[in-house]
């Protein structure tokens, strides 16, 4: 398909002109003062998520130009190509079909869902695997002898399931503990092994490729520990979640749940990689998680661009990165259970869009992925919010709030909600009546995402929303959001350094690396 890079469109130049004319000096406070309907124009409902975009540095003419930019780059055709099963991951020659993992088995006609005939065979396989995995999850939930589930995986094989299990803690079945081991640093695995017993532990070795060195090292050590402790029944105590079932078998694991090369690692929580979550919240809960995401897929596929939330968020990201020049976005979930959400988003966005060349390999003359970072509120307020309010850089903030809590402790939730609203308000309004150290410039942009409740459905929708907004900005930038060549060099060099650490050979190394090696071996 033909994609047009954002800087090759007429809208790009028009946006530059608009930025110089009104964008750079735009003041959200003045915009509210002159437009009583601003909140309505810049807020919207999407499935399971309400979004207030009105505190952002944008007016309607600018949003109209950004929508032109989206149309001129061909983002709709690109989106449709993904949903058509085209191999849009061109550098790896792969389809991009994580969305199919949450597609109902037989899509009801009344959902007016575009045909999925091209991928109907894949959908049959998806549901056969899903049913088997969920049956296993139910079996493990019912098995009182299994008290601990240890997920061994890294990157997408860790961050997605971990983020979701922690987020949905209120829905987790009592009597089971969940542990996540990702780091090759043996301290992490050793600390978990101190807490568990072989007869009551299920190890899940999660690796799309089944070659990732950290995961293979941890899995080997877990298996050796299991044998040393007298464990014998590997088939009962180890399962592999992978596209490389042959390698899992060769490793000695016979209980396997597969998926496909068209699921990117950071998009894999919906696949067998989601097994820890399925054990935690049950088959019905996992299906709700998929259904919430599917609702967001349907919105992304069919809502007009001007009312399409992933599109509006992705366009804002481009506006901030390429015109305002903001280098980062802070995410502030006001729910303690969303504590791994910022880490999850870091991989999703920075591994997808941290690219310096376009799909054709041409160097880009503009910036791409922002740095994504954050912590749950209110904790962040007592750490880095000082910088957000009074620092020299403007950092757009994306708040997430949840209307109804799952606890009944008096006063807490009102206080939490008061804080998230007040932070957004303070960033925008500032405080001009005090000088010097007590002055807040204000006009600092934020987006406010609101869920009615944090549950499997809304979490699924929120994560799919984030996947699609990353798709939109990546699409406009003309990059391939679905490869990750940037992680390869370090992997190759680590193998070489590992050998040198053992044999002391520093020949041909740069001075710093040689110096560090000598120090580590001394
Ligand atoms: O090194 C990056 C990466 O390939 C991620 O994209 C992926 O999520 C992670 O490693 C783990 O890979 P695997 O699931 O194949 O072990």
Mean pLDDT for back-to-back runs of 10 residues, the chain (522 residues): 93 98 97 97 98 98 98 98 96 97 73 64 94 98 97 98 98 94 98 98 97 97 97 96 97 97 98 98 98 98 98 98 98 98 98 98 98 97 97 98 97 98 98 87 97 98 98 98 95 94 96 96 91
| Per-residue pLDDT at 434 | 74
Probe ligand 1: pick from 155, 163, 270, 485, max atoms within 8 Å of CB? 155
Residue in the block written with tokens 């942009």? 445
Probe ligand 1: pick from 156, 183, 489, max atoms within 8 Å of CB? 156
Q: Which two tokens mark 469?
A: 């907004």
| Per-residue pLDDT at 522 | 87
- How many Cβ atoms from other residues are within 10 Å of residue 457's Cβ? 23
Q: How far is the CA of 276 from the centre of ligand 1 (A)?
A: 17
384: buried, middle or exposed (CB in 10 Å: 19+, 13-18, 0-12)?
A: middle
Q: How far is the CA of 478 from the centre of ligand 1 (A)?
A: 23
Strand partners, 148: 177, 201
Same fold for the domain at 6-73+304-483 and the one at 108-279? yes
Q: How far is the CA of 363 from the centre of ligand 1 (A)?
A: 25
Q: What is this structure's pTM?
A: 0.97
- How many Cβ atoms from other residues are within 10 Å of residue 40's Cβ? 10
What architecture does CATH give domain 108-279? 3-Layer(aba) Sandwich (3.40)
What architecture does CATH give domain 6-73+304-483? 3-Layer(aba) Sandwich (3.40)
Q: Which two tokens mark 3?
A: 């994609």
For residue 408, the SS3 value is coil
Atom 3 of ligand 1, residue of closest alpha carbon:
155
Atom of ligand 1 nearest to the CA of 156: 8
Q: Which two tokens mark 269?
A: 């929580």
Q: How far is the CA of 479 from the centre of ligand 1 (A)?
A: 20
Atom 16 of ligand 1, residue of closest alpha carbon:
207
Distance, CA of 188 to CA of 218 (rounded, Å): 9
Distance, CA of 479 to CA of 11 (rounded, Å): 18
Active site residue 351: yes
Query: Catalytic pick from 63, 288, 351, 398?
Result: 351
Probe ligand 1: pick from 89, 92, 94, 157, max atoms within 8 Å of CB? 157
512: buried, middle or exposed (CB in 10 Å: 19+, 13-18, 0-12)?
A: exposed
Using CB distances shorter than 6 Å, the residues near ligand 1 are 154-157, 207-209, 212, 215, 265-266, 351, 484, 487
Atom of ligand 1 nearest to the CA of 159: 8
Q: How far is the CA of 308 from the centre of ligand 1 (A)?
A: 30
Close Cβ partners of 493 (under 8 Å, ≥ 6 residues apart): none
Residue in the block written with tokens 């003359």? 365
Atom 10 of ligand 1, residue of closest alpha carbon:
155
Distance, CA of 192 to CA of 194 (rounded, Å): 5
Q: How far is the CA of 209 from the centre of ligand 1 (A)?
A: 8
The torsion angles phi and psi of 399, rounded to 5 degrees, stand at -80, 150
Atom of ligand 1 nearest to the CA of 212: 16
Q: Where are the domains of the chain?
A: 6-73+304-483, 108-279, 488-521
Active site residue 488: no
Distance, CA of 218 to CA of 192 (rounded, Å): 11
Q: How far is the CA of 177 from the centre of ligand 1 (A)?
A: 25
Query: Catalytic pick from 382, 412, 431, 499?
Result: 382
Probe ligand 1: pick from 204, 208, 348, 351, max atoms within 8 Å of CB? 208
Atom 1 of ligand 1, residue of closest alpha carbon:
487
Active site residue 375: no
Atom 9 of ligand 1, residue of closest alpha carbon:
155
Query: Catalytic pick from 431, 439, 491, 499?
Result: 491
């Amino acid at each position: 398909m033909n994609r047009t890079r954002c800087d090759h469109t007429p809208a790009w130049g028009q946006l530059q002109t608009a930025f110089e004319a009104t964008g750079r000096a735009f003041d959200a406070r003045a915009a509210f003062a002159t437009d009583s309907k601003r909140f309505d124009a810049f807020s919207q409902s999407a499935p399971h998520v309400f979004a207030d975009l009105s505190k952002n540095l944008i007016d309607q003419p600018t949003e109209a130009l950004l929508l032109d930019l989206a149309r001129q780059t061909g983002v709709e055709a690109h989106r449709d190509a993904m949903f058509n099963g085209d191999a849009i991951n061109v550098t790896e020659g792969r389809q991009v079909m994580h969305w199919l993992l949450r597609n109902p088995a037989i899509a009801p006609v009344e959902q007016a869902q575009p045909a999925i005939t091209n991928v109907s065979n894949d959908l049959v396989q998806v549901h056969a695997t899903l049913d088997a995995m969920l049956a296993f999850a139910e079996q493990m939930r019912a098995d009182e002898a299994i008290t601990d589930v240890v997920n061994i995986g890294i990157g997408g094989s860790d961050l997605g399931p971990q983020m979701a299990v922690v987020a949905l803690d209120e829905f987790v079945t009592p009597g089971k503990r969940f542990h996540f081991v990702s780091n090759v640093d043996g301290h992490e695995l050793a600390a978990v092994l101190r807490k568990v017993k072989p007869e009551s532990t299920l190890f899940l070795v999660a690796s799309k490729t089944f070659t990732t060195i950290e995961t293979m090292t941890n899995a080997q050590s877990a298996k050796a520990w299991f044998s040393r402790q007298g464990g014998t029944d590997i088939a009962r105590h180890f399962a592999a979640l992978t596209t490389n079932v042959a390698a899992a078998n060769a490793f000695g694991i016979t209980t396997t749940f597969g998926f496909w090369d068209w699921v990117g690692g950071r998009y894999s929580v919906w696949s067998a990689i989601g097994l820890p979550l399925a054990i935690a919240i049950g088959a019905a809960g996992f299906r709700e998680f998929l259904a919430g995401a599917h609702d967001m897929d349907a919105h992304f596929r069919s809502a007009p661009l001007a009312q399409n939330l992933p599109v509006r968020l992705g366009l804002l990201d481009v506006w901030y990165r390429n015109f305002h020049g903001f280098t980062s976005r802070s995410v502030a979930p006001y729910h303690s259970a969303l504590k791994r959400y910022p880490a999850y988003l870091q991989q999703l966005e920075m591994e997808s869009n941290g690219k310096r060349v376009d799909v054709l390999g041409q160097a880009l003359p503009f910036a791409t992925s922002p740095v994504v970072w954050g912590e749950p509120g209110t904790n962040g307020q007592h750490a880095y919010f000082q910088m957000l309010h009074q620092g020299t850089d403007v950092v757009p903030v994306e708040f997430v709030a949840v209307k109804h809590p799952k606890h009944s402790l008096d006063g807490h939730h009102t206080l939490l909600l008061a804080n998230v609203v007040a932070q957004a308000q303070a960033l925008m309004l500032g405080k001009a009546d005090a000088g010097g150290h007590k002055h807040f410039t204000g006009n600092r942009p934020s987006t406010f995402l609101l869920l009615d409740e944090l549950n499997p459905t809304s979490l699924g929708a929120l994560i799919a929303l984030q996947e699609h907004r990353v798709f939109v900005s990546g699409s406009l930038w003309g990059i391939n959001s679905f490869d990750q060549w940037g992680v390869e060099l370090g992997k190759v060099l680590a193998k070489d350094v590992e050998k040198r650490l053992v044999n002391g050979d520093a020949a041909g190394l740069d001075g710093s690396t040689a110096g560090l090696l000598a120090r580590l071996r001394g």
